Amino acid sequence: MTPQVTFTKPAKVLIVDDVHPILFQILRPSDFSIDYVPEASLEECLLKLRGTEILVVRSKIKLDQEILSLCPELKVIARVGAGLDNIDEQAARNKGVVLVNAPEGNADAVAEHTMGMLLSLMNRMVWADAEVRKGNWPRKHARGTELKGKNLGIIGYGHMGKAFANRLKGFGVYLYVYDKYKTGFGDEFVKEVDLATLQSHCQIISLHIPLTNETMGMINSTFIEDNSYPFYLINTSRGQVVDPEAVKSGIESGKILGMALDVLPDENLAVLRPTEQQWFEWLISQEKVVLTPHVAGWTVESYQKLSEVIGQKIVELALFQ
């Protein structure tokens, strides 16, 4: 349960990223004084931090200990998104700052996007589309693989993982789900298992985990080799949970049958280091890879729902003197 935070009206809110207008409707002007600067540079945003009590962000600012030291009055950081990986959580909590995010707001978007990527991957749709546009008609090589009867593993059973599982109910798959921090969620459709069991049974693995020190590089060469079957890998969580060289080796050896990636280890493609650029060039040359630009949770509907969820959470935690 999120603790309540005491403010004097109006609480000073700084919003540094683009948000849906519904957020302003929820944060009543009589209770909250809003400074909305989505077009401001990082330097301009930093100048506005002093005096801010509630900071609303998406991804523009990486809130490390140094930047947090510029915010002596800060009481709440609200991220209009699912993760908190651009926030030094320990440094924020050491300052007594309450952290809130909105994984409920884009769970449906992520689930549908993951479903689309999985079907595209297993049916070679992206590759087949490109071939037809070249004037080719490669029916033999465009043959797909059916989901029905497959064992599909979900790692992480929060809002995203659960929403994805719900989308799979009509496909005749057998679901194996591992979550290190949750128990008791198994039912007639979801088999709750440990990681080793998931790896020994599944031909498809989908990642729905946050980026933490624990999950950084989780999909490494050991993880890949520990799977009993060659498998398809889907990642709509965070790029850094995947070791780039390990999945490259996995694709080349055939242990990974294909990958659908909405996220990459470094998504600023204009300034990749030479080794990163080399890996990216290899990645985009692969017929067995489907790529999207970190948009799984970014639909027309989730744009509104994310702001709505964050607005409601801010109102619920605010206690005025």
**How does strand 289-291 pair with strand 256-261?**
parallel
**How does strand 32-36 pair with strand 76-79?**
unpaired
Instruction: Please tell me which residue in 225, 252, 267, 301 is annotated as part of the active site.
Output: 267
Instruction: Please tell me which residue in 53, 124, 238, 308 is annotated as part of the active site.
Output: 238
DSSP H or E stretch at residue 166: helix 159-167
Give dist(CA 11, CA 319) in Å, integer. 10
Residue type, 60: K
Residue type, 151: N
Give dist(CA 209, CA 221) in Å, integer. 18
Query: Is 238 known to be catalytic?
Result: yes
Contact 228, 199 (CB under 8 A): yes
Chain length of the chain: 321
Q: Where are the alpha helices (DSSP H) in the chain?
A: 22-26, 42-47, 65-68, 89-94, 107-122, 125-133, 159-167, 195-201, 221-225, 244-253, 274-284, 300-317
Which residue, among 93, 73, 234, 90, has the nearest Cα to 152 in the 3D structure?
A: 234
Query: Is 124 known to be catalytic?
Result: no
In this structure, the dihedral spanned by the alpha carbons of residues 111, 113, 119 and 122, taken in order and rounded to 10 degrees, is: -100
Give dist(CA 206, CA 164) in Å, integer. 9
Active-site residue numbers?
238, 267, 294
